[in-house]
Amino acid sequence: MTTDVLILCTHNSARSVLAEAMLNHLAARLGKDVRAHSAGSAPGGRINPFALEALVNAGIDTGGLRSKSWDEFSGEGAPPLSLVITVCDSAAAETCPVFTGRAGAQPIRVHWGYPDPSNAEGGDEGRRRAFELTRQAIGYRMLQLLALPLETIGSDGLRAALAAIGRS
């Protein structure tokens, strides 16, 4: 059974896209049945070029990535979500739509905040460095997520494990 994970950030142009690509890449490499999606409450309509550059430089496929609204994941035909992860503070504070999980249950929600690499100082080189460091930090947490026994851990154990990952 596939574990569907939705990663949210307001504009769905940087951090959430990095997380979607990293989780899908790592899950495929590790043979895990996990599928990541990303979305935003106010999608910008384009992915930050520095996010794409960081992914390409790390050898991660960027085909199919796009900036999209979280509305795609709250309506009929949306995948049954197991987890919803917010990666920016503004999305964490917003009132999210109701997302449906398996058997109509609500997915587990967690906040793993990262500073916005788009705001890094030092011109383009500073932003490149910030995007790469953010990609690495996200990748580390995604590896921790993939190390969990997602099919057997139970919702209380998963909540606690995800909170611990967020504090790491």
Which structure tokens are listed for 30? 């590790």
With beta carbons less than 8 A apart as the criterion, state whether 20 and 47 touch.
Answer: no
Cα–Cα distance measured from residue 4 to residue 73, given in angstroms and rounded to the nearest whole number: 11
Out of 5, 8, 9, 158, the active site residue is: 9
Selecting among 58, 78, 96, 143, the annotated active-site residue is: 96
Is 88 labeled as catalytic in the residue annotation? Answer: yes
How many other CB atoms sit within 10 Å of the CB of residue 26? 18
Helices 155-167, 123-146: inter-axial angle, 10-degree rounding: 150
Identify the CA nearest to 83 among candidates 117, 60, 106: 106
Find where tokens 């249950």 sit: 105
- The active-site residue, picked from 6, 36, 88, 91, is 88
Q: Which two tokens stand for residue 41?
A: 């409450």
Shortest CA distance to 7 belongs to which of 33, 39, 34, 35? 39
CA 48 centroid distance within chain: 15
Tell me if residue 95 is catalytic.
Answer: no
Q: Which residues are catalytic?
A: 9, 88, 96
